[in-house]
A and B are shown apart, each in its own frame.
Chain A
Amino acid sequence: MSELKTTSQEEREVILSASDLHVGYGSVLALHGVSLEIKKGELVSICGINGSGKTTIMRTLAGVLKPKSGKITFKGTDITGKKPEQVHKLGVALVPQGREIFPSLTVAENLRIGAFGCYKPAQYQKDLETMFELFPILKERYNQGGGLLSGGEQQMLAIARGLMSNPDLLMLDEPSLGLSPNRVDQIFELIEELKSRGMTILLVEQNAERAASISDRVYLLSNGRVEFSGKAEDMASAIDVASLYMGGKEEVK
């Protein structure tokens, strides 16, 4: 792990790259040629206002949406147009927006689903222990229905479910959406903890400032195009773009 930290970002292996993605719903294009790249062990954020195409990128990378053109490569394999379950098997876990857990299933069953496709009993027990360590609440609620958890707990369950497949890339789609400030802090702490454990994370956030503060690199999205990409520190110099599209001059300053 310490080695990972000392190697400069440029030397790290590129785990996922997408080039010139055009994605649409029906005849309406939501992404107009988006390219991005994630290196192993990096925490990359995609920021932008509602409707800028953040969720569309996530869904496309996970295989839920098929791009009209463009190419996605994951760990050297072309995954463009592959089905979500195939992409998942290769090691991409998407935690969808809006805490999409399975409410009628118990916490235990939700976690079991996360491990489908890569189930090994010994590994499963070990992963469960890790999840209980990261999310003690899940241990307490293990046999309860997922729908009975609070919003923050459901988000934790959703992330834990994503982690149960031991993914090479964890994609979190607005994990802080609709949570109380306390819970948001908890979620961001957790993301940092996962990063320190060497997890590669792609984070989508509306809260650009907050996301940038913990990310290695940021992509700023507007109307389906990448307006800014680069180190979080450099985003300050691109403040015009940010304030223009984030609509919160004071906040960004």
Chain B
Amino acid sequence: MAKNRIKNNHGISSKLSTPIMLSVILVLVGYFIWWLNIPFVQDIYTSAAITLVMVLGFQIFNGNSGILSWSYVGFVGIGAFSSAIFSMTPQMKSMQMPEMYPFLVNIHVPFVVALILGAIVAAIIAAVVAWPMMKISDDAGAITQFALLIVIHVILAQWSKVTNGPRTFTLGGQTLTTIWVAMISGVVVLFIAYFFKESSLGLKLRATRDDRYAACSSGIDMVKTRYLSYIFSAAIGGFAGGLYSHYILSINASAFYMTLLFNLLSMAVIGGKMSVSGAFFGTILLTLARQGLRQIEPVLTNMGVNASGSTEIIVAVLMIVFLVFRANGIMDRYELSPSSLKSLFSRKKKAEKKSA
């Protein structure tokens, strides 16, 4: 009996069930939306899937380490710009960005390679700057993260020879991040985020989140664990940034700043940042809520009520409500799996029986 239980927990089927279930939801919804063939709905789905990749990359470090990684959106920006530079044709670059360094203008690689290179650039920059920051925890850790975000933001906004400076960076051409690319990326990163969490690195990181002294005396090198995870998270962020820039087609540095951070944070917090399923459902829920509210805003304005910006307020209030009443989000630390569904079901049945 004991042996069975040990094996079950380490078995491949139970390990895979969570990312498989989430992926099935993502793919079925995506397929249905593609079949509906309404461009407006397809756009919402594509941007939601890209956002999902961003939130998952955010969850990898933020959720498992407990450190609020403000700088994450900076790495999304780095990936967005660098993958765009890699994938654009030299003619396009010299036309749109006459100031750009000549060696950057001449680079041209296929879209998928550019996405991966974007992730690698973000990872390398994270690897260069992150080591000393990983020694700092709690408030001081969050503040250093914030300072790094400002540094990255100012560089992205001012380095004219790379990012076109404060002007808009236009990719031109057609949308390369189609609904299918976004969907497949979402599925792949769902598996990556889940396997990271269950990997020994992910487990070590979660241990340092719970109690860093106990983690150290259990033989965990906290700084190294955080460092490697942070680089990994930055790489996924860079990848997500590449998806974003090839979808939206014109970017500037302010797209990767507070608004995006707040957006990702609200999804992670409301869904439950300690679990991959939480990131997934948080993204879906917040996307639906935002889109719904955005439809209501003009209706209210037409009725004479000035409601512009109310979406942000409602999302912020929602986040406060969650932090007060359910600080660990909808999913807490639990994952969607056959066994968790079963226990939820049996709990409900018990409650029904009691009330009856």
Contacts and interface: CB of A to CB of B under 8 A. Distances in A.
A78 interface: no
A125 interface: yes
A93 B221 CA distance: 15
Nearest to B334: A145
Contacts of A20: none
A64 B203 contact: no
A116 B203 CA distance: 10
Contacts of A104: 206, 209-210, 274, 333
A12 interface: no
Nearest to A119: B200
Nearest to B222: A85
Interface residues of A, number: 34
Given A142-B5, A143-B5, A102 B211 contact: yes
Interface in B263-305: 274
A103 B5 contact: no
Contact of A165 (B204, B209, B216, B219): B219
B6 interface: yes
Interface in A92-148: 93-94, 96, 100-105, 108-109, 112-114, 116-117, 125, 128-129, 132, 139, 142-143, 145
Contacts of A83: 216, 221
Contacts, number: 80
A231 interface: no
A105 B205 CA distance: 11
Interface string A21-48: 0000000000000000000000000000
B191 to A, nearest CB: 20
A102 B5 contact: no
A162 to B, nearest CB: 8
Given A100-B211, A105-B207, A139 B217 contact: no
Interface in A174-199: none
A53 interface: no
Interface in B238-282: 274
A113 B207 contact: yes
B206 A105 contact: yes
A112 B199 CA distance: 11
B87 to A, nearest CB: 40
A15 B216 CA distance: 22
A94 B333 contact: no
User: Counting chain B CB atoms within 10 Å of each CB, which of A103, A104, A129, A143 scores highest?
Assistant: A104
Interface residues of B, number: 23
Contacts of B209: 104
A88 B215 CA distance: 11
Contacts of A116: 200, 204, 218-220
Contact of A145 (B6, B200, B218, B333): B333
B335 to A, nearest CB: 11
A161 B218 contact: yes
B31 interface: no
B217 A94 contact: yes
B91 interface: no
B206 A102 contact: yes
User: Counting chain B CB atoms within 10 Å of each CB, which of A63, A96, A128 scores highest?
Assistant: A96
10 contacts: A64-B216, A88-B218, A88-B219, A102-B214, A104-B209, A105-B210, A114-B218, A139-B5, A142-B5, A142-B6
| 7 closest Cβ pairs, A-B complex | A88-B219, A100-B214, A102-B210, A94-B217, A84-B216, A117-B219, A85-B219
Given A101-B211, A102-B215, 18 more contacts: A85-B216, A85-B219, A85-B221, A88-B219, A93-B217, A93-B218, A96-B213, A100-B213, A102-B206, A102-B207, A102-B211, A102-B214, A109-B206, A113-B204, A113-B218, A113-B220, A116-B200, A142-B9
